[in-house]
Amino acid sequence: MLQYVVRRLLLMIPTLFVISFLVYFIIDLPPGDCVTSQIDELVARGEPDALKRAEELRHLYGLDHPLMHRYLSWVAGVFRWDFGLSCQDTVPVKDLIGERIALTMIMEAATIAFIWIVSFVIGVYAATHQYKLGDYVASFFGFIGLAVPNFLLALVLLYVGKVYFGLSIGGLMDAQYLEKSMSWDKAVSILQHLIIPVIVIGTSGTAGMIRRLRANLLDELQKQYVVTGRAKGLSEFRLLVKYPLRHAINPFVSDIGHLIPEVISGSVIVSVVLSLPTTGPMLLGALKTQDVNLAATFLLLVAVLTVIGMLVSDLLLAALDPRIRFGAAGEK
């Protein structure tokens, strides 16, 4: 196992460097930079020193240096938790992202927990009650969840909440807690506001996971060893838990790495629709204004979470099921 961990970590480190370079390079690729739009504004207002101001801003943000120089100083800064200056408000990126990162991580963690819990219960029920009413209902909602885009569900819930219940379900906390430091009341408010975004973002992931768990569990339940166990008089619950369930939950574990980027990228539009103070809307703004430091920092953090998620899922999978696979032969 040590050998496995070492090899995986050695793959992970260069992967992160390559991702960070690609992210930085691609965001910087379009013509112009984050100062261009600010200067256009100054020129439009008839500012006489617009060009001089542009040079000053470019110097301030380090845009007068070549790309590689900027990238290397940004990467060196990452180790000091210093991601440079954001062009949007000329403030350090770390001050801008602080609370948003924390709120995003709380929301994503809650969403992933929601996806796992709901899909585990429904998936097992649907597989053990195949072709019964419960299975059809679960499958129906599963397909609805897969088919309806997150942002549309968010819009519908916003409308229904406002028109029929008089509730404003946007935001991630009550207005009086905005810009305030964390307190018990603020935490409670966040938890109350989390419910809707978690359901909206988690629905599609849940739907996919239910289908996979149901299919895997049905495969396992039809294998010879289950029949043998049943013939030996094992109770249905013990028969389910002992092996089939253990094998069928492998996709749950292997999906940890995929879930994180899926949930984060899926939550960007939802965050805009529901006015959530998470990283999504800020990332969108940073990409539009070519704020390289801010956008690259967000994307690097997503990449780090993804790579760590992949590592955790691979390690769990290696620990849970260290079998060789030849096109799944020999598993029966």
Query: Which spans of this chain sit near other proteins (rule: CB under 8 A)?
Result: 1-11, 13, 76, 79-81, 225, 228-229, 232, 234, 239, 242-243, 314, 318, 321-326, 330-331
Smallest separation, CB 330 to other proteins (Å): 5
Shortest distance, position 111 Cβ to other proteins, whole Å: 24
In whole angstroms, how far apart are CA 235 and each of 31, 124, 127? 68, 16, 17
Min dist. Cβ of residue 329 to other proteins (A): 9
| DSSP code per residue over 268-318 | HHHHHHTT--SHHHHHHHHHHTT-HHHHHHHHHHHHHHHHHHHHHHHHHHH
Pick 96 or 276: Cβ nearer other proteins: 96
Give 16 or 148: the residue with its C-beta nearer to other proteins: 16
In this structure, what token pair is assigned to residue 263? 């949930």
Q: What angle, rounded to 10 degrees, do the helices at 93-128 and 292-320 form?
A: 30
Instruction: Work out the angle at residue 313's Cα, subtended by the Cα atoms of residues 308 and 314, and round it to the nearest 5 degrees.
Output: 95
257 vs 280, beta carbon nearer other proteins:
257
**Contact assessment for residue 276 and residue 107, using Cβ atoms and an 8 Å cutoff:** yes
Angle between helices 67-79 and 292-320 (to 10 degrees): 50
DSSP string, 178-246: TTPPP-HHHHHHHHHHHHHHHHHHHHHHHHHHHHHHHHHHHHHHTSHHHHHHHHTT--HHHHHHHTHHH
The least distance separating other proteins from the CB of residue 325, rounded to whole angstroms, comes to: 5
Output 140 or 225, the one with its CB closest to other proteins. 225
Between 48 and 322, whose beta carbon lies closer to other proteins? 322
Residue 87 has which token pair?
A: 């062009």
Minimum Å gap between C-beta 53 and other proteins is 33
Whose Cβ is closer to other proteins: residue 79's or residue 164's? 79
Nearest distance from C-beta of residue 76 to other proteins, angstroms: 6
- The tokens describing 262, both together, are 């899926």
The smaller minimum CB distance to other proteins, of residues 186 and 258, is found at: 258
Q: Work out how close the CB of 239 gets to other proteins at its nearest, in angstroms, rounded to a whole number.
A: 8
